[in-house]
Amino acid sequence: MAAVRIDQVRSVLGEILQWKFPADAVLSRYLRANPKLGARDRGEVAEAVFDVLRHLRRYRQFAESGSGPAARRLAILGLASVFERSILDAGLSEDEQHWLDHVQRIDVKSLSRAVRDSLPDWLDERLSKLHDADALIQALNKPAPLDVRVNPLKVERAGMLELLRNGAAARYNPEPTPYSPWGIRMQGRPPINRWPMFEKGEIEVQDEGSQILAALVAPKRGEMIIDYCAGAGGKTLLLGALMRSTGRLYAFDVSAARLARAKPRFARSGLSNIVPVVINPENDQRVKRLRGKAHRVLVDAPCSGLGTLRRNPDLKWRQHPDSLDELRQMQASILRQASRCVAPGGRLVYATCSVLPEENEEQVEAFLAENPDFSLLDASAIVSDRCKNLTLEGPYLSMRPDVHNTDGFFAAVMERNKVSVVESGVQKRKDTSEHDPALAPEAVTDEPDSAPGAEPTKESLATPQV
């Protein structure tokens, strides 16, 4: 069995290490192409592959010694984290066993941090500037638990926890998440997409940090909200539920494929206030029509994803300083465009799942310097309303795996002055819905709990005519 597993891991790694596709996509494709593999086989292959990606630099150094193909030695090192030696040895030659004995005796503390914790030099250098860098790097190198979130429109967390603890999920040790009031954390690899509560839209997979982001947007009933980079809808779903399915929640994205992946999730959720719209990154007329209209705009910006290394360790090797520069320009441009949709008195939330200041604080500072009609709010005061145990230092939301046991997330909340002058968008049409049903205004049945200062706007916030 060990011999077969080594070949399987080696085969998956062979494709992943070409870095053409994300590791999880390659692995899913491999598992789909090998349907005879049972749940345990799949788990073992996945665990070993991800272990290699986490420790790639160190393992490559170890694999320089020994004989035979280096890719096989990487697979052996990955499987050494899954199997006991006695099981693994059954698939190894005598030479390989000696080689593994040798590398397992190496004192990793004698290696430089970049090798020990397997980081490319450029990333080691950037992370080393962060507070408590060692703890952060080590936490990013550990596998993450699985966080799910209840759909507050359908169920309460306490009831769902009881159901999970008394059913087949008990072995995954479900526990409430410490900060998010909607989260449940499980250990291992629960096959939740086959569970009835998932099919009924009562639970969704969402990291606790991402749940807290939705709390930070703090949408209210009846408001008009834009999730500007909605992707597969992870945050849209919780925003829609917090709005109690009232008002209007635009789910924008430039990628039709990503929004298409969101649609079954929207359907399961039971939400009826979401309007998905594929937008053009440049000069989109529908975006223009929403200028100065939204109560809240969330920009969950495309980023390096370096806060999610626990789940996506391949990003260490797929990202590069040049790609980071491109991302920074894109982030600044999206933030600028999205900010125009914010109504006077409304809020703009900029978020990433990166831990690098150049994608986070520096972007926000540059935006605020160029846009004096926006000012920074204290994130801590806003989230404390729903996330009782969460204390933050400073005005930003900054979640870290070493501190909060979540992925690395950053967010800033900015408020537009009540007296901002809103640039007009495209020329007004008599009846917009006739031309663009995707943006057709629908009856807003619930009064907003509060509307941002509406005095100087040309159109009223409560009637989202777009």
Ligand X SMILES: C[S@@+](CC[C@H](N)C(=O)[O-])C[C@H]1O[C@@H](n2cnc3c(N)ncnc32)[C@H](O)[C@@H]1O
Active site residues: 353
Counting contacts by CB under 6 A, is residue 407 touching ligand X?
Answer: no
Q: Cβ of residue 454: shortest distance to ligand X, in angstroms?
A: 27
Q: Which is nearer to ligand X, 202 or 253 (CB)?
A: 253
Counting contacts by CB under 6 A, is residue 276 touching ligand X?
Answer: no
Q: Which is nearer to ligand X, 182 or 252 (CB)?
A: 252
Counting contacts by CB under 6 A, is residue 219 touching ligand X?
Answer: no
**Residues 88-127 close enough to bind ligand X by CB under 6 A:** none
Q: Cβ of residue 64: shortest distance to ligand X, in angstroms?
A: 37
What is the crossing angle of helices 70-80 and 2-16, to 10°?
120
- The edge-to-edge listing of strands for the beta sheet with 183-186 is 175-176, 183-186, 146-150, 203-205
Q: Are the C-beta atoms of 314 and 22 separated by less than 8 Å?
A: yes
Closest CA to 335 of 410, 209, 228: 228
Counting contacts by CB under 6 A, is residue 231 touching ligand X?
Answer: yes
CA–CA distance, 22 with 300 (Å, rounded to integer):
20
Q: Cβ of residue 253: shortest distance to ligand X, in angstroms?
A: 5
Counting contacts by CB under 6 A, is residue 254 touching ligand X?
Answer: yes
- How does DSSP classify residue 455? T
Sequence-distant (6+) residues with CB within 8 A of 222 are 243, 246, 247, 444, 445, 446, 447, 448, 449, 462
Counting contacts by CB under 6 A, is residue 410 touching ligand X?
Answer: no
To the question of whether residue 253 is assigned a binding role by annotation, the answer is yes
Counting contacts by CB under 6 A, is residue 234 touching ligand X?
Answer: yes
3-state SS record for 355-424: CCHHHCHHHHHHHHHHCCCEEEECHHHHHCCCCCCCCCCCCCEEECHHHHCCCCEEEEEEEECCCCCCCC
Q: Which is nearer to ligand X, 234 or 425 (CB)?
A: 234
Closest CA to 344 of 217, 466, 451, 247: 451
Q: What residues are paired with 204 via a beta bridge? A: 149
Counting contacts by CB under 6 A, is residue 263 touching ligand X?
Answer: no
- How does DSSP classify residue 259? H
Counting contacts by CB under 6 A, is residue 300 touching ligand X?
Answer: yes
- Which position among 201, 302, 344, 425 is part of the footprint of ligand X (CB under 6 A)? 302
Q: Which is nearer to ligand X, 138 or 255 (CB)?
A: 255
Q: Which is nearer to ligand X, 258 or 288 (CB)?
A: 258
Q: Which stretch binds ligand X (CB under 6 A): 37-45, 131-139, 222-230, 264-272?
A: 222-230
Phi-psi region of 32 (alpha: psi -120 to 50; beta: other; left: phi over 0): alpha
- Which position among 216, 230, 341, 383 is part of the footprint of ligand X (CB under 6 A)? 230
Alpha helices in 105-189 (DSSP H): 113-116, 121-128, 133-140, 157-165
Q: Which residue is nearest to ligand X (CB)?
A: 234
CA–CA distance, 392 with 65 (Å, rounded to integer):
47
Counting contacts by CB under 6 A, is residue 277 touching ligand X?
Answer: no
Counting contacts by CB under 6 A, is residue 215 touching ligand X?
Answer: no
Q: Which is nearer to ligand X, 234 or 408 (CB)?
A: 234
CA–CA distance, 235 with 192 (Å, rounded to integer):
19
Closest CA to 220 of 435, 399, 448: 448
To the question of whether residue 51 is assigned a binding role by annotation, the answer is no
Counting contacts by CB under 6 A, is residue 374 touching ligand X?
Answer: no
**Residues 307-346 close enough to bind ligand X by CB under 6 A:** 334
Instruction: Determine how many CB atoms are found less than 10 A away from the CB of residue 241.
Output: 24
Counting contacts by CB under 6 A, is residue 416 touching ligand X?
Answer: no
Q: Which is nearer to ligand X, 44 or 300 (CB)?
A: 300
Cα separation values, 112 from 53, 56, 117, 237, 318, Å? 18, 14, 8, 43, 22
- Which position among 11, 61, 128, 255 is part of the footprint of ligand X (CB under 6 A)? 255
Size of the site for ligand X (CB under 6 A): 18
Counting contacts by CB under 6 A, is residue 235 touching ligand X?
Answer: yes
Counting contacts by CB under 6 A, is residue 58 touching ligand X?
Answer: no
Counting contacts by CB under 6 A, is residue 281 touching ligand X?
Answer: yes
Q: Are the C-beta atoms of 69 and 60 separated by less than 8 Å?
A: no
**Binding site: which residues?**
253, 300
Site residues for ligand X per CB under 6 A: 228-235, 252-255, 258, 279, 281, 300, 302, 334
**Binding site for S-adenosyl-L-methionine: which residues?**
253, 300
